[in-house]
């Protein structure tokens, strides 16, 4: 006869010793086990006890198929003091088996204990009985398993953890909105501590598991951290679209540095303001991480302290622009012969020469007949200037200077050099306002969804006139121009504002030409009034208005001269 594989015993005699031949079912789950143990029945009442010394007792420990001999349990021997040794009984010889696995379901997004009990089709009290973990309801994670019946909890097979890539980078994962480290650890056969160790201090934007950033990459194995995903519109750091991972050791924060060595924020924006330059990085955080409560932190070229890279020049220069076109105004006009009466100027620029759009030769427009007197100035370097704001931006002329510099640079440079020699002029100044500025769009700050400060577009007919290659084209033209003019000077006028200057490869230009005139008077002006992005720490944008002169100002200046 065969019985289910459960503890088999009965009580025999007045001492209630264990006897074989009776099935005692422990619970309904164990009774469902299909394995059986063959047992021979015998008349226990008439069988004599045996202490086992005869060798007629057969043990079944460790197997579920042995046959018990038709012998009585071993007799309890007496000790010397008359007591008996306690015998473990038949239960010591029978194998113990794990309970069956409970009926289970998996937790999905939005589940709570109430919804899980409903899915199981059981009462809430039964759900608690089958899932006795004290804080289960407050710690449920997507992907967990819960029991819908009695039995052992379901443990899914543990997957093999992701392996490091052959190139030494880690197995990367793009963080989703609902991800947690506990859920990822279960899904990928890891522990939370392992995930922390793979990312702490090296993964972009990683502080700890509790503050993972959705949309960023993380590591699920040992190895070098991945680059973060590209973010449209960024200018600096590893999130700039098209960034390639360098070979060998590198620092993510040094990738795509800002022009002019400006500060780079963790969101990938360049600028000179506190939002770009102030450091709010947490101790031990990975690159690109910021402290809670701050909108941003600087990641490269941080700080805005004034740095002295060199001492003062051996000789100072004083430069003036002679406005040859402006003798018709009501006050403060000046003839060329009086431009340097006190001898304090070292350089005098003629503003402005023009360009023939067919031959690309120099054209002197001189309605007030001042050119000859200008050339005769003594004790000062006489410089001819091209461009200016109007000539660089107005519909009739903006494309003349662009084409001269970009598409006709060799011809234009040759013609300038020839003009300097023919007119015995000491140098040339280019005032192109401004290469490349309108290419950059107005950016949205990802943390605040506000407009990131940018230079306003320079438009003609509603179309931006700047292009991304303007700065490099300007450098090529100036390099060729300097080579052609030889010992005569080449200079440019450059904006003092970061937003306009950022398109200039100014460090490379400075290495080619003789000097740069920074237009510091254009830092702010009437055009900035009401522009909240024009000033730092001026929410209204109405902090500075003064620019230019009224007739009253002219009169005051003339009277005080």
Neighbours of 392 (CB within 10 A): 20
Q: Taking a C-beta distance cutoff of 8 angstroms, is the pair 5, 33 a contact?
A: yes
E strand intervals along 270-314: 270-271, 298-300
Written as six digits, the tokens of 287 are: 């690159």
Angle, in degrees to the nearest 10, between helices 470-485 and 398-406: 70
Q: What span, in angstroms and rounded, lies between the C-alpha atoms of 556 and 63?
A: 115
Of the candidates 289, 282, 343, the one whose C-alpha atom is nearest the C-alpha of residue 318 is: 343
Structure tokens at 62: 């460790």
Taking the C-alpha atoms of residue 57 and residue 35, their distance in angstroms, rounded to an integer, is 23
Tokens of 87: 């015998």
**Which residues form the catalytic set?**
433
Question: Beta 145-147 vs 451-452: how paired, if at all?
Answer: unpaired
The β-bridge partners of 495 are 519
Q: Using an 8 Å Cβ cutoff, are 175 and 203 in contact?
A: no
DSSP 8-state symbol, 224: B
d(CA 302, CA 3) in angstroms, rounded, equals: 80
Euclidean distance between CA atoms 556 and 332, whole angstroms: 11
For residues 386 and 492, what is the distance between their CA atoms, to the nearest angstrom?
A: 9
DSSP-H helix ranges across 466-532: 470-485, 498-501, 506-512
Reference 465, options 493, 435, 488; nearest CA is: 435
Dist CA 18 CA 4 (whole Å):
18
Residue 158 phi/psi, 5° resolution? -75, 120
| Phi, psi (degrees; rounded to nearest 5) at 518 | -90, 125
């Amino acid at each position: 006869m065969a019985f289910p594989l459960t503890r088999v015993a009965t009580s025999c005699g007045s001492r209630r010793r264990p006897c074989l031949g009776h099935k005692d079912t422990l619970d309904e789950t164990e009774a469902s086990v299909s394995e059986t143990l063959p047992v021979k029945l015998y008349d226990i009442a008439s069988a004599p006890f045996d202490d086992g010394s005869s060798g007629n007792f057969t043990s079944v420990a460790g197997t579920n198929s042995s046959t018990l001999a038709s012998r009585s349990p071993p007799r309890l021997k007496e000790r010397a003091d008359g007591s008996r040794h306690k015998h473990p009984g038949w239960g010591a010889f029978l194998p113990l088996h794990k309970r069956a696995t409970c009926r289970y379901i998996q937790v999905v997004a939005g589940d709570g204990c109430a919804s899980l009990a409903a899915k199981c089709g059981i009462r809430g009290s039964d759900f608690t009985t089958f899932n006795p973990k004290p804080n289960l309801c407050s710690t449920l994670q997507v992907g967990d398993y819960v029991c819908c019946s009695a039995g052992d909890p379901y443990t899914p097979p543990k997957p093999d953890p992701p392996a490091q890539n052959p190139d030494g980078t880690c197995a990367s994962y793009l963080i989703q909105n609902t991800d947690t480290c506990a859920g990822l650890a279960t899904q990928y056969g890891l522990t939370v501590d392992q995930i922390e160790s793979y990312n702490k201090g090296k993964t972009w934007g990683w502080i700890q598991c509790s503050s993972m950033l959705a949309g960023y990459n993380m590591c699920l194995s040992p190895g070098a951290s991945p680059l973060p995903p590209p973010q449209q519109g960024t200018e600096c750091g590893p999130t700039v679209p098209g960034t390639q991972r360098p070979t060998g050791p590198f620092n993510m924060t040094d990738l795509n540095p800002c022009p002019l060595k400006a500060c780079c924020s963790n969101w990938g924006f360049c600028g000179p303001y506190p939002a770009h330059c102030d450091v709010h990085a947490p101790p031990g955080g990975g690159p690109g991480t910021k402290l809670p409560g701050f909108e941003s932190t600087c990641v490269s070229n941080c700080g805005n302290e004034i740095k002295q890279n060199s001492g003062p020049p051996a000789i100072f220069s004083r430069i003036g622009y002679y406005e040859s076109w402006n003798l018709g105004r009501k006050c403060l006009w000046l003839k060329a012969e009086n431009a340097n009466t006190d001898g304090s100027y070292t350089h005098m620029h003629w503003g402005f020469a023009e360009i023939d759009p067919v031959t690309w030769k120099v054209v002197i427009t001189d309605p007030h007949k001042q050119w000859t007197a200008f050339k005769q100035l003594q004790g000062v370097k006489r410089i001819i200037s091209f461009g200016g704001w109007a000539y660089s931006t107005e519909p009739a002329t903006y494309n003349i200077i662009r084409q001269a510099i970009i598409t006709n640079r060799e011809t234009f440079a040759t013609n300038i050099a020839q003009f300097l020699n023919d007119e015995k002029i000491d140098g040339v100044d280019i005032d192109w306002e401004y290469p490349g500025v309108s290419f950059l769009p107005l950016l949205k700050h990802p943390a605040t969804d506000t407009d990131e400060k940018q230079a306003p577009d320079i438009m003609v007919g509603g179309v931006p006139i700047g292009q991304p290659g303007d700065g490099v084209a300007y450098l090529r033209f100036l390099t060729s121009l300097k080579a052609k003019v030889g010992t005569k000077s080449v200079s440019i006028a450059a904006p003092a504002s970061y937003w306009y200057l950022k398109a200039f490869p100014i460090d490379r230009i400075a290495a080619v030409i003789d000097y740069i005139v920074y237009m510091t008077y254009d830092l702010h002006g009437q055009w900035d009034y009401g522009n909240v992005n024009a000033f730092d720490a001026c929410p209204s944008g109405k902090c500075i208005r003064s620019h230019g002169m009224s007739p009253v100002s002219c009169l005051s200046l003339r009277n005080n001269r």
